Structure 1
Amino acid sequence: MGEIVDLGEYAGGSAEFFADPYPVYERLRRLGPVHHVRTPGPGPTEELWLIVGHEAARAAFTDPRLVKTPPWGLDGSDVGRHLLFTDPPEHGRLRSLVTREFTPRRVAALAPRIQKITDELLDDMVPRGSADLVAALAFPLPFVVICELLGVPDIDRGRFRRMSIQIVAPTSGEEEAAAFFEITAFLDELIEDKRCTAPADDLLSALIRTTAEDGDRLSSHELRGMAFLLLVAGHETSVNLIGNGVRALLDHPGQLADLRADMSLLDGAVEEMLRYDGPVETATHRFAAEPVDIDGTVIPAGAPVLVGIGTAGRDPERFEVPDRFDIRRDARGHLAFGHGIHYCLGAPLARMEGRIAIRSLLERCPDLALDGEPDSWLPGMLMRGVRTLPVRW
């Protein structure tokens, strides 16, 4: 396709695209693996290149010509150098320093605490008979977990939710810039407080102290960037995994009944939730370091590129009858957490939170059902989820 595809117009409107982008992605996949597109509003719109389809996306994730560092450098909204804005060898250095402390053992040890937080949230929610599942469970659970993991003191949940949403799903450039400024100031103060207090066991304190064998450490700028990445990405993915996963179950009562009857299906069900309607719709921006030819279409040097994760999960070349939600499907190989060197560090934590939250919710609410339509889908093409999910039991 030579023309620019306006994704909102292609779907019949921006709201329609955000509610269900998959038919648009299917039409694009049939035409080829890469397209010059205009992103839908509200919020900042862009002209960029979108890669669709499972194999094309998987290849793009490991293509050294598609880099993470913007060719013009970082602007004033930058909160610090972190893994999503860096390429080798800097990326390997940062990831090595972070994984020294953000270990599988540290994540696994969180399971009892995640269960306790879930139980407390459900204790408050269940007697009411109905709730917005996002506000009552899907948001507060991963938010409290990541704050405790990082050692973030009590902060206003409403304020943080507003900042986080404006960063991952902005409705205007001004609101997005204000949210970046606000969270940057918050993180600077938090890091300085931790430097000046007695050593603690939390992850952020450990990252401040950690030193590689050669004496390398995270700079203040890098610490702020990594704290931002862990705090925002560390909860947003889980919020939408829980919300989208529960909505998929409630939209497919036969699958819900099967899971209730056999909870040994839960691990596979979570993988199917990630494939079918995962929390991340497209990966964060990449840039063409040189002209990149993909199946005869050339992405010009310097152009921004989005790798489609949601479209990869619905590719019929990879998954049979991909629009069918089937918790018994072997969904392994999906790209919900990316692929290659930028594979999501927090994937084990998100999976654990999803399994615990969904199992506990179904056990405590045997008659769980939707209580109206979701209020609105998040705008933008980064995170896939709803602002509210009304349910009753």
Structure 2
Amino acid sequence: MTDIRPAPAIHDFPVTRPEKCPFDPDEEYARLRAEEPVSRVRCPAGMDAWLVTRYEDVRGVLADPRLSSRAAGSDHMLPSYAGHDPLPGFMIQLDGEEHARLRRLMIGEFTGRRVEALRPYIQRIADEHADAMLAGRGADLVRDFALPIPSRVICEMLGVPYQDHTSFQRDSQILTSFEADEATRAAATRRLEDHLGELIEKRLAVPQDDMLSRLIARADAGGRPLTVPELSTLAVLTLVAGHETTANMITLGMAVLLEDPERTAALRARPETIGPAVKELLRYLTVIQFGLVRYATEDVTVGGVEVRAGEWVVAALPSGNRDESVFPGPDTLDLGRRARTNLAFGFGPHQCIGQQLAEVELQVALTTLLRRLPGLRLARPLEQADFKLNDIVHGLRTMPVVW
């Protein structure tokens, strides 16, 4: 006799931020954690999925090799998504040894020692942009500070000429938005791949002291050279991921700090506390706002619920980071919080490879703003701000400030 599982109720995927606080995730997550921690939802892409909302279950999903990231990422939010094979070198959509091989080649570029060696360079860039801001009396914090810092750093690391930043930032924003149609996204991908492909051909011919050249050399030494399509995809992924999340975190982090002058003054007075403060901001804001989707390759139990092979599972990072059983008072930003590792960078084999770089960039950017522009304030009320409510990465499109 065939085992028939009762059909669970299907909810709409939580996508609405509360009006009272644009920094909080959808209020439905709190109810789901309490009543239906593993619930059935209909995703904007059209497929049904299991939405996992508690911290421990989210970690379990992201660490389980039976739940594949192949051809997934955040594509559960794309209306045009119909399933596809991953591009060669698209590390975040690969599993097992395919993924591990590429990660081993990349990991050496993001060690704590290498990242700390970049701190003076990051500080110099932050000071240059603070100087430029101080030449006037107002600025757009996104355009004039938050976006250029991680963009310049990742260009420097990869060996990509920074003068090309306008075009790659435009295409990056297309790829991280769910509003662009499939043709527009494909064209943006092609432009990035074509541009970086030309640079890769030059590095194959004449290596330089940059990440692309070192990746080529490591792969060659390992006996399995990277193809040009693999290198191109890795470069696009690094370029986009290497600046989008951090730029949005700088902007949102500063917006949160400016909401509370006492909190801002306390952090300014004790800049040595910026490390835990950044970790708490990452937890509180969790800019990968719609989580990460996985595909069950075999039957697996998640949070006491049976997930069948062939079903989709969404690990809700923002919900896990607001789990009351792990983070007391989770909806309160506590810059002195000493808590468990948050989920802002994911978990498991696909945990963000650039986590340490992002944290150092955030530390430098925020302390520089607090030190150099003590009178910094929003030029218009936060409720009038243009938030990215339909993008992979939560943030602000613009943030006018004065001082």
- Report the TM-score, using the length of structure 1 for normalisation: 0.89
Kindly provide the CA deviation profile for residues 56-82 of structure 1, in whole angstroms up to 9, marking residues without a partner as x.
11111111221111499745xx55323
Task: Note if 1:390 corresponds to 2:396.
Answer: no
Aligned residue among 297, 310, 324 for 2:332: 324
Aligned residue among 2, 7, 13 for 2:13: 7
Amino acid at match of 1:62: A
> In the alignment, is the contact (CA less than 8 A) between 2:91 and 2:99 conserved in 1?
yes
Q: State how far apart, in whole Å, the 1-side matches of 2:252 and 2:189 are.
A: 26
Q: Where in structure 2 are the equivalents of 1:30-45 lying within 5 Å?
A: 30-39=34-43
Amino acid at match of 1:98: M
Q: State how far apart, in whole Å, the 1-side matches of 2:17 and 2:209 are.
A: 51
Q: How far does residue 98 in structure 1 lie from its aligned partner after superposition?
A: 1.8
Kindly provide the CA deviation profile for residues 234-293 of structure 1, in whole angstroms up to 9, marking residues without a partner as x.
111211221121111112222112111211221111011011113322444321112333
Give aligned-pair identity as a percent.
39
Count of matched residue positions in the alignment of Structure 1 and Structure 2: 385
Task: Note if 1:21 corresponds to 2:25.
Answer: yes
Structure 1 range deviating more: 140-149 or 335-344 = 335-344
Structure 2 unmatched ranges of 5 or more: 1-6, 73-81
Task: Note if 1:189 corresponds to 2:210.
Answer: no
> In the alignment, is the contact (CA less than 8 A) between 1:7 and 1:17 conserved in 2?
no
Q: How far does residue 317 in structure 1 lie from its aligned partner after superposition?
A: 0.7
Amino acid at match of 1:3: A
Amino acid at match of 1:267: G
Kindly provide the CA deviation profile for residues 289-337 of structure 1, in whole angstroms up to 9, marking residues without a partner as x.
1233323434343233321111111111100111111111114411111
> In the alignment, is the contact (CA less than 8 A) between 1:97 and 1:218 conserved in 2?
no
Structure 1 range deviating more: 60-69 or 18-27 = 18-27
Equivalent position of 2:272 in the other structure: 264
Q: What secondary structure sits across from 1:231 in the alignment?
A: helix
C-alpha spacing 1:62/1:338, structure 2 compared with 1 (3 Å):
same
Q: State how far apart, in whole Å, the 2-side matches of 1:106 and 1:118 are.
A: 19
Q: Where in structure 2 are the equivalents of 1:112-131 lying within 5 Å?
A: 112-131=120-139
> In the alignment, is the contact (CA less than 8 A) between 2:150 and 2:246 conserved in 1?
yes
Task: Note if 1:253 corresponds to 2:261.
Answer: yes
C-alpha spacing 1:305/1:185, structure 2 compared with 1 (3 Å):
farther
Amino acid at match of 1:113: Y
Q: State how far apart, in whole Å, the 2-side matches of 1:19 and 1:39 are.
A: 22
Aligned residue among 242, 249, 262 for 1:241: 249
Structure 1 unmatched ranges of 5 or more: none
Q: State how far apart, in whole Å, the 1-side matches of 2:332 and 2:200 are.
A: 46
Q: Where in structure 2 are the equivalents of 1:1-393 lying within 5 Å?
A: 2-7=8-13, 11=16, 20-39=24-43, 47-70=48-71, 74-75=84-85, 79-174=87-182, 175-196=184-205, 198-211=206-219, 214-372=222-380, 373=382, 375-380=385-390, 382-393=392-403
C-alpha spacing 1:368/1:332, structure 2 compared with 1 (3 Å):
farther
> In the alignment, is the contact (CA less than 8 A) between 1:252 and 1:325 conserved in 2?
no
Q: How far does residue 186 in structure 1 lie from its aligned partner after superposition?
A: 2.0
> In the alignment, is the contact (CA less than 8 A) between 2:152 and 2:162 conserved in 1?
no
C-alpha spacing 1:158/1:4, structure 2 compared with 1 (3 Å):
farther
Q: State how far apart, in whole Å, the 1-side matches of 2:87 and 2:192 are.
A: 8
> In the alignment, is the contact (CA less than 8 A) between 1:285 and 1:306 conserved in 2?
yes
> In the alignment, is the contact (CA less than 8 A) between 1:82 and 1:94 conserved in 2?
no
Structure 1 range deviating more: 336-345 or 25-34 = 25-34
C-alpha spacing 1:11/1:291, structure 2 compared with 1 (3 Å):
same
